Structure 1
Amino acid sequence: MSFLTTILGLKGTANEKDGSSRMQRGVPAESPSLSCVMKENRDFIEKSLGQDSDIVLKEIAAGSYPLQALVMYTDGLTSQAIVNETILKPLAADSKSGSLRESATPEAAYQWLLHEAITNGGIKELTSWPELYLELLGGNTVILLDGVGKGLSVDTSSPKERAIEEPSSATVIRGSREGFTENLRTNTMLVRRKIRDSRLRCRQMNIGEMSKTEIAVMYMEGIAKEDVVQELFARLHAIKVPGILESGNIEEWIQDQFWTPFPTVFNTERPDMVSAALMEGRAAVVVNGTPFVLIVPALFTHFFQVAEDYYQRADIGFLIRLLRYISLLISLLAPALFIAVTTFHQEMLPTPLLISLAAQREGIPFPALIEAIAMEFTFEVLREAGVRLPRAVGQAVSIVGALVIGQAAVEAGIVSAAMVIVVSITAITSFVFPAVNMSISIRMLRFLFMILAGSFGLFGITVGLIALTLHLCSLKSFGVPYMSPFAPYDTYDQGDAIFRMPPWLMRRKPDYLGGKPHADRNR
């Protein structure tokens, strides 16, 4: 029986055809063991990878002993300088000095390569084809020795990455200017540089049947709740998809509930926010290839907090945070209240204001509801256009477009000036939210409240607020109530919800995360 038949574990003609098709697709063999014959290993690699031009296969002599070794790496992902310096150069030097005796066995030559010849610290043994493909296609160099059914993987990856810069999605006036990059090791390094504690854990795994995306779960052992960490690992291991290209792909799989407009997983580009969350008792998921790190559990209040709240004085941080919650109410309810009052409850307005609004609406062909929906829809289109257009013209188009269209619509008698003011204020307050995904959720609900206000007035808004409150209180993030510390109510945790109390009054982590004192705040 040939090596190919043996390694695939095939029996019969039908299985041979299936194994052949698996090899053409580059699928690892069913029997994952490596062969002791180097030529058979090379033939299988060439067939399974389709003789790709960027896969470099090079046979060299292993020291002075006449034993052949196969060196493999992926061009572009591997540093040629590291390969030459830590692998090829030591082997070439030994072929002259002869430190490996000619009487040595293949296993002795393998041990010599593992412990003496290769000076690179990132070396590990391989025993199966899935491990070999993972290392080879990940940028490492693989060495197979003739006569040995094992291989060696040497860390020679050289990823091209951008420099550490200030994150564009979370700018601050006072605070750190460094943000995450697309490299997993750089991101974990940024967190470890801020938390120099032996309890910080970093557990790495691969997700994606094709992409084999590297992710790292970080948490503080003894501080993070054990059931939250175990639940996170269980959800990550349950992900069975072809590929993970961004942390948003993982977010959709690990979130508690899909049928809700509110996010239950937090994401950020800032290492200081991730470090603070870890010390608080939460867990972080770092995904290779994206600067956005996921944090769980994520509650409603977390989406209105920024790192700068804790870098300013407590009174300043409280006022700025209070401003965000007021902006939340304005962004959610301002158009709906305007529609309800002008359509159903005109008696609530002062007479001069009512006369002024009536004069503005004279000749407007649409009811207030249609007017508001049209203006909001137009602004959402302009906002999206400003994001997708080239950066040099995107901002100019969005600003000029809003001014020109708004002024022209008022002069044409399509909308009233008061409606343009309300929509503008609503749009400005929606930019106050630190988290973009929470801003999108509020923008979605705004249209629902406008429909309720146009249909039932203030009664519809009240019913909508009750339903929204019930929905929020029913949500959970990894078993933690989403509206904590408001529901269930906790007096102590109110010091870091809407308020931002001084640090000496917040000496322990929140009750929903265990309520144990911080290790660095016990002194």
Structure 2
Amino acid sequence: MKKIAWNRKGFKKYRTSDPVPQSINEQIEWLRQKFTDRFDVVYHLFVIGSSQRCALVYLQGMVDTQTLHEELLRPLFALSQTSYPDIRECIFERRQLPITDYHISSLHEGLTSLLDSSVLLLVDGDERVIQLPFGSLEHRSIDEPANEATVRGPREAFIENAEVNLSLIRKGLKTPLFKTESMRLGTHTQTVVMILYIQDICKQELLEEARMRLRAIEIDGVLGSSYIEEFLDHSPFSPFPQVQYTERPDVVSAALLEGRVAILVDGTPMVLLAPVTLWMLLQSAEDYYQRYIAGTWIRWIRYLFVFISLLLPSVYVAITTFHPEMIPPKLLMTIAASREIVPFPALIEAFIMEISFEALREAAVRIPKSIGQAVSIIGALIIGTAAVQAGIVSAAMVIIVSFTGIASFIIPHFDLGLSIRLLRFPIMIFAGLFGLFGIICALLLIYIHLINLRSFSMPYLAPMTPLIAGDLKDTYVRAPWWYLRKRPTTAGWNKIRQGNTKNPHEGEREEDGD
């Protein structure tokens, strides 16, 4: 019997020290014991030539049987008519099967490939098996990005097939330095996980850290990239995301060219990128497809509305509760008149509206798309109007919360937007207890946390803290492409991104002067 070893974390590790059967009957019986109570395993026995017994084993519904018959069985029977008397020598030694991509392995290794939609060819009298790539799994076609749409950028997005996703990245990186490393994670799922990087651009220390963290993962199943993401966090209790995910192949290619690593997980349309900083999460692919003036302006607008999304309700609560002298008299009279019939203090009022807005946002995501947008808009209008007329909240608070909600949608990365939405509530508590002084204290605590935060050993606030002057050209502003001559500090020894390309208008002026 196969012995089972348990490690200190309780996960099973199967040993492959069983005696390997050579008889085809014993091999099929061994496989039947592994697939007890499964009706979808097909065992197709046949004879080649006069006496050589063979068998095909595959999972029903995961194999293209027509291609299997045309590209394997027909050439195999034709091969048996040749002058070679030993079919095993033709298949295993001379490798005369007319198939480009097949592997010879043991029966134990073939078991894993069988579950991954491969076909096993068994030959009587030989303990080896042949893994044949005749899998035919259905997957959706390549579509436009649902969450990262751009006006001028490419319109391709990842799907749930790792091979297709890898081909989309290879299409953009036509260099032999583009490297891939594959492993399987999950005791029961055996999910394919790939590490992608560009040699000589990616730092070796970063690559080793990515390998170490992935190999340390021991879990029974990996059904998506989010399973792995939590294992890769340097500070798992931090509200801020420490790994970036994207559904765009061009974003992955750009990250690899900056010296970062990508982690591709089979079965999910999201690719993980590491390391990541706060400023990277605030950048959008649209910034690089617009002219640098427009990209810089859009980036400034985004930074402004990030602060509005984080602080606007708290500032309103602090000023109306502790610092009314800061409000112009006419505006103060308007706010006081609207709050005259409200029975709650500003802090409770803000909490009621923020939680209601979060509930409407979440309901809009879960409701079917055909009615989701209408229900969310009508629900917000009806609830807001009824709450103001009933005197539960003031009209000013409805405006503040609505503007804050709109500002939160400008954040390009969903997880970062969720982090800011979560931090909004403790900041409001500080504002309701201590006024503007409480807001300053809350911001200092967040800043201290961000200074100490790391993503794959990279400071989360780089290039601001620590200050890296050369990387600021793609942080607060988006410098012109002809000015971005060097890669950021995430890159390895190959720092040069382009040659001494200059602004063509400067060259024309120099020629005119000559």
How would you bin the TM-score normalised by the shorter chain? over 0.9
Q: CA deviation at 1:321?
A: 0.6
Query: Does the alignment pair 1:511 with 2:489?
Result: yes
Q: CA deviation at 1:32?
A: 4.7
Q: CA deviation at 1:146?
A: 1.1
Q: Which runs of 5+ in 1 are unaligned?
A: 10-17, 20-25
Q: CA deviation at 1:111?
A: 2.4
Secondary structure of the residue that 2:188 maps to in structure 1? coil
Secondary structure of the residue that 2:276 maps to in structure 1? coil
* Pairing partner for 1:372 from 343, 350, 363: 350
Q: CA deviation at 1:198?
A: 1.0
Question: Following the alignment from structure 1 to structure 2, what is the Cα–Cα distance between the partners of residues 81 and 262?
Answer: 50
The equivalent of 2:511 in structure 1 is none
Cα separation, partners in 2 of 1:387 and 1:344, compared to 1, 3 Å: same
* Pairing partner for 2:176 from 188, 198, 201: 198
Secondary structure of the residue that 2:262 maps to in structure 1? strand
| 8 Å CA contact 1:280, 1:518 repeated in 2 | no
The equivalent of 1:296 in structure 2 is 274
TM-score, structure 2 normalization: 0.93
The equivalent of 1:72 in structure 2 is 57
| 8 Å CA contact 1:180, 1:270 repeated in 2 | yes
What are the residue-to-residue correspondences of 1:350-361 with 2, within 5 Å? 350-361=328-339
Query: Does the alignment pair 1:135 with 2:113?
Result: yes
Secondary structure of the residue that 1:294 maps to in structure 2? strand
* Pairing partner for 2:28 from 42, 48, 59: 42
Read off the aligned partner of 1:111 and give its amino acid letter.
F
Read off the aligned partner of 2:42 and give its amino acid letter.
V
Question: Following the alignment from structure 1 to structure 2, what is the Cα–Cα distance between the partners of residues 519 and 363?
Answer: 63
Cα separation, partners in 2 of 1:29 and 1:61, compared to 1, 3 Å: farther
Q: CA deviation at 1:364?
A: 0.7
Q: CA deviation at 1:513?
A: 3.5
The equivalent of 2:257 in structure 1 is 279
Question: Following the alignment from structure 2 to structure 1, what is the Cα–Cα distance between the partners of residues 500 and 213?
Answer: 34
Query: Does the alignment pair 1:467 with 2:445?
Result: yes
Query: Does the alignment pair 1:111 with 2:92?
Result: yes
The equivalent of 1:54 in structure 2 is 40
Read off the aligned partner of 1:180 and give its amino acid letter.
F
Query: Does the alignment pair 1:328 with 2:309?
Result: no
Read off the aligned partner of 1:393 and give its amino acid letter.
I
The equivalent of 1:124 in structure 2 is 103
Cα separation, partners in 2 of 1:516 and 1:44, compared to 1, 3 Å: closer
Query: Does the alignment pair 1:171 with 2:156?
Result: no
Query: Does the alignment pair 1:410 with 2:395?
Result: no
Q: CA deviation at 1:521?
A: 4.8
| 8 Å CA contact 2:142, 2:156 repeated in 1 | yes
| 8 Å CA contact 2:485, 2:498 repeated in 1 | no
Q: CA deviation at 1:91?
A: 2.2
Secondary structure of the residue that 2:495 maps to in structure 1? coil
Secondary structure of the residue that 1:115 maps to in structure 2? coil
Question: Following the alignment from structure 2 to structure 1, what is the Cα–Cα distance between the partners of residues 278 and 439?
Answer: 21
Identity %: 39
Deviations 1:190-237 (A, max 9, x none): 111001111100111111111000111110111001100110011111
Question: Following the alignment from structure 1 to structure 2, what is the Cα–Cα distance between the partners of residues 128 and 33?
Answer: 11
* Pairing partner for 1:88 from 67, 73, 76: 73
Read off the aligned partner of 1:123 and give its amino acid letter.
Y
Q: Which runs of 5+ in 2 are unaligned?
A: 6-11, 502-514
Question: Following the alignment from structure 1 to structure 2, what is the Cα–Cα distance between the partners of residues 519 and 496?
Answer: 14
Read off the aligned partner of 1:108 and give its amino acid letter.
E
Q: Which moved more, 1:371-380 or 1:512-521?
A: 512-521
Deviations 1:343-390 (A, max 9, x none): 000111111111111111111100000000000000000000000011
Q: CA deviation at 1:493?
A: 0.9
